[in-house]
Amino acid sequence: MSSLDLVIGPPPDGIDLTANRIAQNNGTVAAVMAIATVFVCLRFWARTANKNVLAYDDWSLLVSLAFAYGTGICCILGGRYGIGKHIWVVEPDDVITSMRIIFAYVILYATTVPMVKLSVLLLYRRIFRLTWALYFCAFLSIGYMIAVTAGISLACVPTSYFWTQWVDPLNGGHCRINLYLFYLWNGVANLFTDVIILCLPMPIVWRLQMPRSQKWAISGIFLLGGFVCVATIVRIYTITKMKSSVDITWVIGDAMIWSNVEPCIGIVSACLPTLRRLLRHIPQLRGFSSRGSALSENVRNSKSNHPSHEPDRMANRSAYGSGPSKRGYFRPEEDEICLTTDVGRAGGRDKAASAKSLKSREETRTQIRVNQRFEWSEQAQ
């Protein structure tokens, strides 16, 4: 009888101790990491090929991918030390090492997921110029990272008890919190912030002046991030299996895999709105991109030619300076998704400057000179 049998008891009847899911877990990690890497590369290609300056959201997503690689490496290393096998066939020293990897993995996961969310929020900031709602979501994401990192670091006394409890639970240590509930509720909190960030741009999109079909198309691009919520729900389900099982190296393997799938899907979803230029090179999808470009051009032309839109256009231009990269302007020619409404938010001194510029333009437009001389001549027949 091994030392693990003395601590957690003998294996239950009917369990196949030869079962091994390490290869399956490693294959899943490699696949999702490869997909996330490809989409990040496509995003950078689309942004640079469109002659756009790389923004904070692009670089933050690259940082997120680096942290995601950290979680993937932890998954693969965990397999080398028994994660994916039943605990009764894992050496006690390997159990301790695998739990140390889990400890580092939780901290990396708590950093990766908020980084992906911050990248999405920065994309919203660049396109929609959101203010307080964006800051609120950023506060939730950063608060989640701090809370989870501090919680796992202070969960056990001494900290080493986190990984020795499965081999030597009577060494004098203890855990301040229930680790199962800790994993479960941080998953629920993560899902809560996912839903809020997913719904954040919807009211703005549906206020745009464009056909309903186009609104649905743009909403669909953003709502593809809902796959992240699905991955989070599956992850929470895998965590619930830890409540009644002492076979920690077996049940925690699924939780680790889905904890790696979730941020990778988030990275892919964050890249989708930036790949409009890529659609132009795919014949089956070229129509969507061309219709979006045509719609953008038509809306801009109608605003520049119709007198009733002159105040709005001048307000946008004078309130925040010239050029499409300023605040309060949805920029379809710079950003990749087709948002085609100009919004003016002039105020204070900028509003006065806008009014003055508009008045000057109106005076210039109404100065019509009429020649009042009248000449009449007849030719005798």
Residue 44's domain comprises: 3-274
Selection from 157, 52, 150, 62 nearest residue 112 by Cα: 62
Q: In this structure, is residue 379 part of a structural domain?
A: no
Buried b vs exposed e over 312-332: b needs ≥16 C-beta within 10 Å? ebbbbbbbbeeeeeeeebbbb
Q: Are 257 and 105 in contact (CB under 8 A)?
A: no
pLDDT digits (tens, 9 = 90+) for 249-289: 898 988 899 999 999 999 998 888 887 766 655 554 444 44
What's the confidence (pLDDT) of residue 323? 41
178 plus 305 within the same structural domain:
no
CA-CA-CA-CA torsion for 124, 128, 131, 132, nearest 10 degrees?
Answer: -70
Whether 312 and 176 share a structural domain: no
Residue 224 covered by a domain: yes
Let me know if residue 200 belongs to a domain.
yes
pLDDT at 245: 81
Q: Same domain, yes or no, for 268 and 297?
A: no
Q: Are residues 139 and 83 in the same domain?
A: yes
Per-residue pLDDT at 227: 83
Q: 118: which 2 tokens?
A: 């911050």
CATH number for position 35: 1.20.1070
Does one domain contain both 185 and 317? no
CA separation for the pair 318, 329 (Å, rounded): 12
> pLDDT higher for 299 or 183?
183
Q: pLDDT higher for 178 or 226?
A: 178
**Which of 274, 307, 330 finishes a domain?**
274
d(CA 261, CA 253): 12
Position 307 scores a pLDDT of: 46
Query: Do 252 and 306 fall within a single domain?
Result: no
Render the burial of 162-185: b for 16+ CB within 10 Å, e for the rest: bbbbbbeeeeebeeeeebeebbbe
- 313-350 pLDDT, tens digit per residue, is 443 333 333 344 444 334 444 444 444 333 344 444 44
Residue 376 domain-assigned?
no
Q: Is 331 within a domain?
A: yes
- Residue 205 shares a structural domain with residue 296: no
- Among residues 274, 299, 316, the one where a domain terminates is 274
Domain membership of residue 304 (yes or no) is: yes
Reply yes or no on whether the pLDDT at 222 is more than 50. yes
- Note the Cα 258 to chain centre separation in Å: 17
For residues 321 and 202, state if they share a domain: no
Q: For 114-160, write each residue's pLDDT tens digit.
A: 999 999 888 888 877 767 888 888 999 999 999 999 999 999 999 98
Residues 37 and 31: their CA atoms lie apart, in Å, by 10
Q: How many angstroms separate the most distant Cα atoms in the chain?
A: 135
Burial group, residue 151, by CB count within 10 angstroms (0-12, 13-18, 19+)? middle
- Give the rounded percent of residues in the chain with a pLDDT score beyond 90: 27
In a domain, 162, yes or no: yes
Among 251, 274, 297, residue at a domain's last position: 274
User: Both 50 and 197 in a single domain?
Assistant: yes
